[in-house]
Amino acid sequence: MAISYLTEEGLQKLKSELEHLTSVERPSISRQIAEARDKGDLSENAEYDAAKEAQGMLEARIAKLEGIVANSRIIDESRIDTSKVQILNRVKIKNLKTNAVMEYMLVAEQEANLKEGKLSVSTPIAKGLIGKKLGDVVEIHVPSGKMQFEIMEISK
């Protein structure tokens, strides 16, 4: 599994979710399976089938989170450089076609949240911005075509 670079806050969120899944959700699904099993014939028991499917999905999520937590590294935010775009930078960009100005913080995929302005480094826009400098104009291929952005500001 690949190494995930996270902020301290992002890692804590993942650990909290993992704790909730293992200490609350897992026992709850086990109870649902036991209750459904107690109702008799398992061959035609939709509740049992649904609970087993939910258990499988839960265990897959737990395994994924355990892998991410085990293979994550915390980014030292004090060492973030703003001379060029990199993870954990805030980047203000201007769409040269529409003149719309947007500001994003580039974060690990697990921390991405567009409502909070946190853009995953694995998105086409972030990939196109990484390594670029203030004032650079970048052409980025997105699903709807090509877009040009000017980097207006890079900050922490």
Nearby residues of 99 by Cβ (< 8 Å), 6 or more positions away: none
Say if residue 90 is exposed, middle or buried (CB neighbours under 10 Å; 0-12, 13-18, 19+): middle
Residues facing 86 on adjacent strands? none
Q: What pLDDT digit, counting tens, does each position of 24-60 carry?
A: 999 999 999 898 888 877 777 888 888 999 999 999 9
Rounded to the nearest 5 percent, the helix, strand and coil shares of the chain are: 45, 25, 25
Q: What pLDDT digit, counting tens, does each position of 73-95 carry?
A: 888 777 777 889 998 899 999 99
Whole-number pLDDT of residue 108: 86
Place of tokens 């301290």: 8
Q: What pLDDT digit, counting tens, does each position of 97-150 carry?
A: 999 999 999 998 888 999 999 999 999 999 999 999 999 999 999 888 899 999
- List the Cα angle 82/84/86 in 5-degree steps: 85
Query: Which residues of the chain form CATH 3.10.50.30?
Result: 78-155
pTM of the model: 0.66
For residue 86, give the nearest of 75, 97, 98 by alpha carbon. Answer: 75
Say if residue 62 is exposed, middle or buried (CB neighbours under 10 Å; 0-12, 13-18, 19+): middle
- Confirm or reject CATH 3.10.50.30 for domain 78-155, answering yes or no: yes
**Arithmetic mean of pLDDT, 10-37:** 93
Fold classified for 4-74: Helix Hairpins (1.10.287)
Quick check: 153 pLDDT over 80? yes
Whole-number pLDDT of residue 1: 64
Higher-pLDDT residue of 1 and 118 is 118
Cβ neighbours of 58 (radius 10 Å): 16
Whole-number pLDDT of residue 143: 86
Q: Which two structure tokens, joined as six digits, stand for 110?
A: 């697990």
